[in-house]
Structure formats: structure tokens, C-alpha cells
Amino acid sequence: MDLSAIDIQNIESEWLTNEKVSLDVLRLDKLHPVVSGNKWFKLKYYVEEATARNKSTIATFGGAWSNHIIAAAYAAKDAGLPSVGIIRGEKPAKLSYTLTYAQELGMELFFVSRDKYRRKKEIIQDFSASDWYWIDEGGYGKTGAKGASEILNSVNMSHYTHIIASVGTGTMLAGLLLASTNEQTIIGISSMKGNTGIDQNIKHLIENRSPTPSFEINHDYHFGGYGKHPQSLIAFVNEVYHQHRLPLDIIYTGKTYFAIKDMAEKNRFKPGNRLLMIHSGGLQGNKSLPEKVLAF
Ligand SMILES: *Cc1c(COP(=O)(O)O)cnc(C)c1O
């Protein structure tokens, strides 16, 4: 992966000028056309550990459109290791774009019922004879946070008062917290509805950092829940693309950009604040939509 492909896009818009705040977007999506930027960072040290421990295979979990599954397949291949994906739900007649791509990268897929998928310990037990290195769903864990803490290496982050990013498992946000200063405000926008356990999960990931940095998770911008993308969100994502040539994904970054605009309009920020949004990638997931729904 060529980290120099990551760059910063400054956004100019009336709603920013009105509030006298500035917004830059860290384009991790430019890292690779299919592999999500943040997932790549999260996986780095897991793969290193698997190699150091001479594990035979990287194994992990995900759904049919999982950014994590693709990134894991890619990272394993890159490290010269075979990979296995445990996929939620029965095998469909036609594989999703995501799963097809993961397979092309050499990942072997095992489909398990939704019920079984919830019992991950049991699944790992089933394969216990194999010398596999297991990575949690979404790359959740301290090792993932350590990798994600390097996301900010490519910017002069002391420039920003606020860093805002999407939250799924919270691992990326934990990484940003590890790398930020205590003067910076870190805001996570949850893609899930009512995921109230997330604060605890993030605190666990950063427990070794002192003083413990503070952060806030906003639960108001889930648009109906994880994976939900009402017409209003689709229209918004298209509008942002037309105005700024900024492609967003419908699961995470579209909701986050919307949240930033809405918070600014509600005077959440002060004049002079300098915001950095992490564009964490995820664009491949847009292929779950029928063609031509999105303008890009
Ligand atoms: C997985 C993902 C996230 C969420 O990251 P977590 O570390 O799970 O919180 C955000 N954006 C994109 C594009 C993702 O693929």
C-alpha cells in the first residue's frame, strides 16, 4: 500500500463560512480503490503478530458487504498468508461484490447461520485444531487501535481543534485518541442505533494511556440503524459529491459528514474551530446499491 496516496481535501461551503469554522477531510479512501483505509491501518499489527507467531492462516468474521473481510483478505495476501472468512448467513446463490473480491484475493469463505455467527467462541472452538490467527470482527482490539493510531501520521494534526470520525467497533476512534493531544476534541459518530456499550469498549482500548483522553460519541446520526440508508441519506451523499467531488459511503462516512454539517448548523462549534474529518473509506460497500442510485 502506498500511504502517500492519502491526502487532505479542504471543504469550502456556505455552512462552514457562516459558522466561521474550517473543515478538512483526511482522504484515507484514496489508499486503495477497494480496501478501506481505516481497516488497513487496524490490521497492520494483527498481521505482524500472526507472522511473528508463525501462524498458518489469518481467520476473521464479517457480513456479505464487510469492509473488514476485504481488507483482511488483502492484508493476509500481502503478508503471504492464507486467509479464512467466517461469513454471517447462509451462502447466497450469487456472492456479493465484496465476497467475490475477497475470494479472488485468496480468502476461503465459510458461511454460518446468523444464530451460530453470534456464538463466535464456538466457531473458533470448531476450528481449534487449525493453527489459525483469529482477528475479531471489524478488527476490534488494542492491537487494532495501535494500528489505527498511525492514521494521523500523514497530517499535521496539531493544526486541528476537533477530529471527527465514524464509529463501528470504536477501534479507529480509540486509535485517534491514542494519537491526539488532550486539547483536541475527538467526536465519534455512531453508525448504529443505540449502541450504548460503545463508550465502555473504547475506554477499554485506551485504558493504558494516561491521562485518559476524553471523547464523545454522538448517537443521533444512524439514519435508522446500521446498514440503513434512507433516500435522504442517498440524496445527501449525491449532493456532497456534486458540490465537492467528495465520494462518501452510505454506511459510515456519509452519516459522519452529514453529522458535521448538522452540528455546525446547530452551533456545536465555535468561530475559529478547525475540524478534521477522517474519511475512513468503505466505498466498495456502495456497490450494494443498484446501479445509478449514486452519482459516482
Ligand atoms: C469499519 C469502518 C468504520 C468503523 O471503524 P471502527 O474501528 O470499527 O469503529 C468506519 N468507516 C469505515 C469506512 C469502516 O469500514
CB 169 near ligand 1, within 6 Å: yes
Q: Which of 139, 169, 196 is the last residue of a domain?
A: 139
295 part of a folded domain: no
* CA dist list (Å): 192 to 144, 166, 224, 240: 20, 10, 8, 22
Please tell me whether residues 266 and 134 are part of one structural domain: no
Please tell me whether residues 55 and 123 are part of one structural domain: yes
Most informative mutation of 252, 253, 258, 288 for ligand 1 (most atoms within 8 A of CB): 252
Q: How many domains does the chain have?
A: 2
Please tell me whether residues 254 and 147 are part of one structural domain: yes
Looking from the CA of residue 144, the nearest atom of ligand 1 is 7
* 151 contacts 165 by C-beta, under 8 angstroms: no
Tell me how far the alpha carbon of residue 35 lies from the centroid of ligand 1, in angstroms: 12
Say what the pLDDT of residue 130 is.
87
CA distance 181 to 197: 24
C-alpha dihedral sign at 154, 73, 30, 276: negative
294 part of a folded domain: no
Tell me how far the alpha carbon of residue 117 lies from the centroid of ligand 1, in angstroms: 20
Tell me how far the alpha carbon of residue 73 lies from the centroid of ligand 1, in angstroms: 16
Tell me how far the alpha carbon of residue 18 lies from the centroid of ligand 1, in angstroms: 30
User: How do strand 22-27 and strand 274-279 relate by DSSP bridges?
Assistant: parallel
Sequence-distant (≥ 6) Cβ neighbours of residue 14 within 8 angstroms: none
Predicted confidence pLDDT, tens digits, the chain (296 residues): 899 999 999 999 999 999 999 999 999 999 998 998 899 999 999 999 999 999 999 999 999 999 999 999 999 999 999 999 999 999 999 999 999 999 999 999 999 999 999 999 999 999 988 899 999 999 999 999 999 999 999 899 899 999 999 999 999 999 999 999 989 999 999 999 999 999 999 999 999 998 888 899 999 999 999 999 999 999 999 999 999 999 999 999 999 999 999 999 999 999 999 999 999 999 999 999 999 999 99
CATH number of 103's domain: 3.40.50.1100
Q: Which domain holds residue 97?
A: 38-139
Q: Which of 139, 169, 202 is the last residue of a domain?
A: 139
CB 167 near ligand 1, within 6 Å: yes
Please tell me whether residues 83 and 204 are part of one structural domain: no
Tell me how far the alpha carbon of residue 273 lies from the centroid of ligand 1, in angstroms: 25
User: How do strand 216-218 and strand 83-88 relate by DSSP bridges?
Assistant: unpaired
Please tell me whether residues 164 and 27 are part of one structural domain: yes
296 part of a folded domain: no
Q: What is the pTM of this model?
A: 0.96
Looking from the CA of residue 170, the nearest atom of ligand 1 is 9
CB 252 near ligand 1, within 6 Å: yes
Tell me how far the alpha carbon of residue 129 lies from the centroid of ligand 1, in angstroms: 31
Looking from the CA of residue 169, the nearest atom of ligand 1 is 8
Name the nearest CA neighbour of 214 among 230, 224, 203. 203
Please tell me whether residues 126 and 225 are part of one structural domain: no
Cell of 101: 473480491
**HEC string for the chain:** CCHHHCEEEEECCHHHHHHCCEEEEEEHHHHCCCCCHHHHHHHHHHHHHHHHCCCCEEEEEECCCCHHHHHHHHHHHHCCCCEEEEEECCCCCCCCHHHHHHHHCCEEEEEECHHHHCCHHHHHHHCCCCCEEECCHHHCCHHHHHHHHHHHHHCCHHHCCEEEEEECCCHHHHHHHHHCCCCCEEEEEECCCCCCCHHHHHHHHCCCCCCCCCCEEECCCCCCCCCCCCHHHHHHHHHHHHHHCCCCCCCCHHHHHHHHHHHHHCCCCCCCCEEEEEECCCHHHHHHCCCCCCCC
CB 28 near ligand 1, within 6 Å: no
Please tell me whether residues 195 and 80 are part of one structural domain: no
Please tell me whether residues 207 and 261 are part of one structural domain: yes
Please tell me whether residues 262 and 134 are part of one structural domain: no
Q: Angle, nearest 10°, between helix axes 37-52 and 171-179?
A: 90
Name the nearest CA neighbour of 101 among 287, 293, 235. 287
Please tell me whether residues 152 and 28 are part of one structural domain: yes
CB 285 near ligand 1, within 6 Å: no
230 part of a folded domain: yes
CA distance 58 to 74: 11
How many residues are listed for the chain in this entry?
296
* CA dist list (Å): 134 to 40, 70, 74, 288: 16, 15, 15, 27
28 part of a folded domain: yes
245 part of a folded domain: yes
Closest protein CA for atom 13 of ligand 1: 282
Q: Which residue has the cell 498468508?
A: 81
Please tell me whether residues 65 and 207 are part of one structural domain: no
In whole angstroms, what separates CA 103 from the centre of its chain?
A: 21
205 part of a folded domain: yes
For residue 22, what are the β-bridge partners? 274
Looking from the CA of residue 166, the nearest atom of ligand 1 is 10
Please tell me whether residues 7 and 151 are part of one structural domain: yes
Closest protein CA for atom 10 of ligand 1: 166
11 part of a folded domain: yes
